[in-house]
Amino acid sequence: MNNPITVEAFIHAPIEKIWSYWTEPEHITKWTFASDDWHAPRATNDLRIGGMFSTRMEAVDGSQGFDMGGTYTEVEKYKRIAYEFGGRKAVIDFIPQDGGYRVVETFEAESENPIEMQKAGWQAIMDNFKKYVLSV
């Protein structure tokens, strides 16, 4: 993987709940954004090797938005998801630890924005995921 960036969160919850909230569109739309002035109005997910996913991310005020999507290259239930998106690769590992799970996402950096900015944005999304899992 070229120029990898890693973000992670420890979540004290059952893996079934973590997996479900990470992979099901009705949950994905509740956490896939980096700040409260953004949201994810829709998501699709065909979680299988060769399956595709797409999430629409938009500013709440409608001023901007984009679709984030890709194709799965590896799916090992409750353990690992790998995908390709926009010519880049990403891997998410679900690692048992201390009665919960460490969710670790590593992705290839893009060249348009500084690495620190990319890491901060993806970490904010990961933090939203943890907050969502623990609040529902």
* pLDDT tens readout for residues 7-27: 999 999 999 999 999 999 999
Q: pTM for the whole thing?
A: 0.94
**pLDDT per residue as tens digits for the range 24-69:** 999 999 999 999 999 999 999 999 999 999 999 999 999 999 999 9
Domains with residue ranges and CATH for the chain: 4-135 (3.30.530.20)
pLDDT at 3 over 90: no
Which DSSP string do the residues of 37-76 spell out, in sequence order?
Answer: TEEEEEEEE--STT-EEEEEEEETTSS-EEEEEEEEEEEE
